[in-house]
Each structure stands twice: as C-alpha cells, then as structure tokens.
Amino acid sequence: MAKIRVRIAPSPTGFAHVGTAYTALFNYAFARKLDGDIVLRLEDTDTKREVEGAEEAIYLNLDWLGVSWDEGPDKGGAFGPYRQSERLDLYQKKAKELVDKGLAYEDEGAVRFKNPGEDISWNDLIRGEITFPGQEVQDFVILKSDGFPTFHFAVVVDDIAMEISHVIRGEDHISNTPKHLALFRAFSAAPPEFAHFPTLRSQDKTKLSKRRDPVDLGLYRKEGYLPEALVNFLCLLGWSHPEEKEIFSLSEFVENFTLERVRKSGPVFDVKKLDWINGMYIRQMEDEVLARLLNDHITADTSVEFLKTAVPLIKERINKLEDAEPLLSFFWNHPTIGRETFIDESSAGHIADALVTLRRTPEWNLDEINSSLSKTIEEKSFKTGNFYMTLRLALAGTKITPPINESMVILGKDEVLHRLEEAQKVLL
C-alpha cells in the first residue's frame, strides 16, 4: 500500500478554531495508527481576512492538544513550501496547463474550469457511495484576476503535489468534492480517498459559528479546560469507542481509531458534557499536579505549597481551573461583610458561641474543631446547617465555600478568631 499521507489545512484568518482541532484529531489518529505522515498546510491565500498572529496560534493550540505533524511551514519537508501564498507560481503554471489542454479558459482576467458534464461518483470512506449528476458541476473560477487561486483549485494542486493519499474533512465539503474530482481527472491524477465526517453543531443543530458560539481554542485554554479533556470530548463527539468508554486518552483514541466508527450524524457541541469530562480529569489528578496547574492559572499571588493544602477541599467541586479562584479567594482576601450579610436571626449567638468554643480549642486541627463545634451546636440546640452557614458568611463572606471546618484549619486559629470577632462587631 502507498504511504499514508494526510493534511491538516487551516486558514490563518483568526483565532484557532475548535473545528480545526476536531478535524486535526481525525487526521492525526488515522495517520498515526497507520504509520503515515501528517502535513500541516496553511491555506493563506485569502489575504484580506488574514489576522496577525493567527499562524502562531494554530501551532500553539494544536501542540497544546498533543497533535503533532511531520511537515509544515514551521518544520519544512520535501513537499514545501507549505504556505499556499508561497506557491502562486505553481498555481499559475497549472492553470495555464489546463487552458492549453482546452479544459479551462480565460474570462475577464480570471481562469475558469470548463464543466466536463460527466456524472461524478466516489466511495466515501465514512458515507459510502455518493454520486453527483454532471450538470451540477458548473464552470467555476480556478485562478482569480489577481493571480491568486481559488480554494477548489489550490487544494487539488497541492494534494497532487504533496502526494496526499486521504482527505479526511467535514461533511460541509461533500458538495465541493465533485469539483475537486473533476480537477483530478483533468490533471490525469489519481484522486485521494475521501472521508467526510459530521461537522460540529451548536445547541440549535446549526453549524458552529464564529460569531455566535464559543469556538476559540484559546478561550477554553484560558478558562482552565485541560487539553486531555478537550481532546477526549472532541473525539467522543464524532467517534464511538469500541468499549463505549467515555473517558479515554489521545493514545487510546489512536489505538482504537477506525473510520468505520466515525458517527454519521452531526454531534452537538455540549459545553455541559465538556465540563463533566474536564471535571473527571481534574478528579483523577494527583493533588500536587493540580496545585501546580492552579498556581499558574489563579491571578492572585498564591503558592504551590498553599494550594496543595487547599486542593483536597475543592477537587470534587470544580469542573475547570477557573472555578477554583472564586472558591479559594477568601483565604487571601479578607471578606467585606455587613449586617445584611447574615441571613439567620440567630447569627449573633452562633458567632458568640463559636468564638468561646474556638478560643479554648486546645489543638488546632480538624478533629478538635469538629468535636468542639458539634458539642456547642448540641448544647445550644442550634440548627447545624444554619450555624455553619453563619460561620461560612463570617469567614468567607459568601454562601459557597469549601468545607468550612477544613477551611478553618488552613486559615489558622488567629485569622479565624480575628474574622469572627469582626463579624461579632458587625452584629452588635
């Protein structure tokens, strides 16, 4: 069998898109499993839409996800250059070749491909036999008047020149394939195998939109999604594990990948599902590893050593790294409270008795704090939930915190007593 060669072909026209990652993962798995090569080719001929820094964002985010490639603008290779803007002479030469054969013609400075009028069929590796009647392929521009190729022409010329064996791309390209196959015929070149997977859908079942949906890979990175979890989620959207597993690694995806297991219906990009998967990865992490990640993610001046003590309190409560700071900020930010902070008419009594109890607690550890406060609740006939809510509001200024007794251990006796005394003054 000829060498497997696939291509990832993003356009540097904005931020790195989750759709680019989704496409890259299918190509990556297919090629890596079959010991093939992966080409990263930049489709950068739309100069008006090109965004500064977009090329670097593509490299950065694909690398973050663990997707590697063998040839590309950043790596070089035997089939370069890998930016289409650097291949204009080739496109112009190939367009002239078709004109000279009578298969294309000049039209107001542009070059149009002549409709061959033949039915076009192919066996799609995901969808089976697909046929388009010949009349559906109209004459179309292959080279614009400014000398730049159109998308349809450039991808075919490049796929031939770079010896691409398989084109694995979204179903939105099915309607483009007849044009591409017609061009392969015109060049007397054997076409690659085509496989069209389902494109990602938003909640309303429409295609993900840059303007409407959160599709920027950098945004997910900033919010504290783990690359392993995002990869797992994207793979799961378009492919089913043979053991129906929902949590699996990129290497496991590659090991088990087949095009036969690619789903045919459009998957919905469900952020709640992504949150669940990300939370699962967080809970599987070693505390020290998570503490180091949080230390890089939290904006406040924290330390890994402090976070190692706090991680066990929040590990089950967060689904992404950005969830941690709101839960932990009261450790380094003294809460601002007023009488309106407290919601229970017994709050003053809760604070007063907690102060008496905690001042005389001999050892400042969780067992002593639990035991001492439990006795106070029983002796005073306090409602347990209301009592601890008062302490939570006094110490953190918010209803939502990690377990409050464990938090008191980390805060330390002096700080706990100081905050309770401040709350007592507010309630006087």
Q: Residues with catalytic annotation?
A: 210
Rounded to a whole number of angstroms, the CA Rg of the chain reads: 30
**Inter-axis angle of helices 366-380 and 347-359, to 10 degrees?**
130
* Amino acid at position 286, single letter: E
Let me know: does 234 contact 169? Beta carbons within 8 Å: no
Please report the sign of the dihedral spanned by the C-alpha atoms of residue 195, residue 197, residue 199, residue 200: negative
The length of the chain in residues reads 428
State how far the Cα of 185 lies from the Cα of 122, in Å rounded to an integer. Answer: 13
**Inter-axis angle of helices 151-161 and 177-186, to 10 degrees?**
50
